[in-house]
Amino acid sequence: MTSEATPALSELPAAAAIHPVSHNLNGQRLGRKGRDTRERILAACTELLADPEEVLTMSAVARRASLGMTSLYNYFADLTELLLAVLEPVMATAEESFLGILREHWPDTELGTRSRAFIDAYHGFWARHSRLLHLRNTMADSNDHRLMIQRVLSTQPLIALFVAQMGGDADDMQSPVRGLATVLMTGIERTVTVATDTGLTSLFGDGQRRSKDHYLVPASRMIELMLADTRARLAQGELG
């Protein structure tokens, strides 16, 4: 990948921005009280997610927010809609959390250190929002279409940036480099999913919980080797 390709990294799409909500589900414009109520609902949901002993349901959110169910449904039609609203500000931190690392061109001589810095940052993001992201993925895997879309869209900036790091055209959705980047990103997400699921990791091997390096060291090596190999193959004209 030449230095001329570096600016393209900064021009690739960033994480989605936060969109202010101006009305409730009844079409009523939100004044200060309405905005405060909506924020109280979001805060209640976030508090429940932070406590692994709490079961997240709409009724639990209503109780935590000291609201009746009717009032709650004035703002969110169901749990999926509520989770999407909680996810929005979380995903808006992706740029500073890990995308910024990937947006800078990684020289060939620094692939190892840059790969490790990225996987550490991505794992840190997942660790901070573990229950929310695991719940999103579980519901998406159960065919919740809206959360499936959110999950896919949240990975698109990462895939595009990996394509650019490999030296490919991030706008070519059919290129073999795009396929390689997609597979790489799938592996990365699966790795951090496992690494941040304490219940799952305790079942492996001798039943002892593994350190994060047990997963992140090979993950960073996977990124390094995939980037190096794809750059070399592109330079040799092996990938069209």
Residues 46 and 115 placed together within one structural domain of the fold: no
- 110 assigned to some structural domain: yes
Residues 162 and 118 placed together within one structural domain of the fold: yes
Residues 109 and 153 placed together within one structural domain of the fold: yes
Residues 216 and 113 placed together within one structural domain of the fold: yes
CA separation for the pair 216, 113 (Å, rounded)? 12
What is the residue-averaged pLDDT of the chain?
88
Question: Over the stretch 164-194, which tens digit does the pLDDT of each residue have?
Answer: 999 999 999 999 999 999 999 999 999 999 9
- 3 assigned to some structural domain: no
The whole domain housing 182 covers 93-235
- 15 assigned to some structural domain: no
Q: What is the pLDDT of residue 5?
A: 41
Could you give the percent of the chain with pLDDT greater than 90?
Answer: 76
What is the number of structural domains in the chain? 2
DSSP 18-81: P----B-TTSPBP-HHHHHHHHHHHHHHHHHHH-TTS---HHHHHHHTT--HHHHHTT-SSHHH
Residues 44 and 118 placed together within one structural domain of the fold: no
CB 122 within 8 A of CB 219: no
Is pLDDT at 114 greater than 90 in this prediction? yes
- 129 assigned to some structural domain: yes
Q: What is the pLDDT of residue 18?
A: 61
For residue 64, the domain's CATH number is 1.10.10
Is pLDDT at 7 greater than 50 in this prediction? no
Residues 190 and 73 placed together within one structural domain of the fold: no
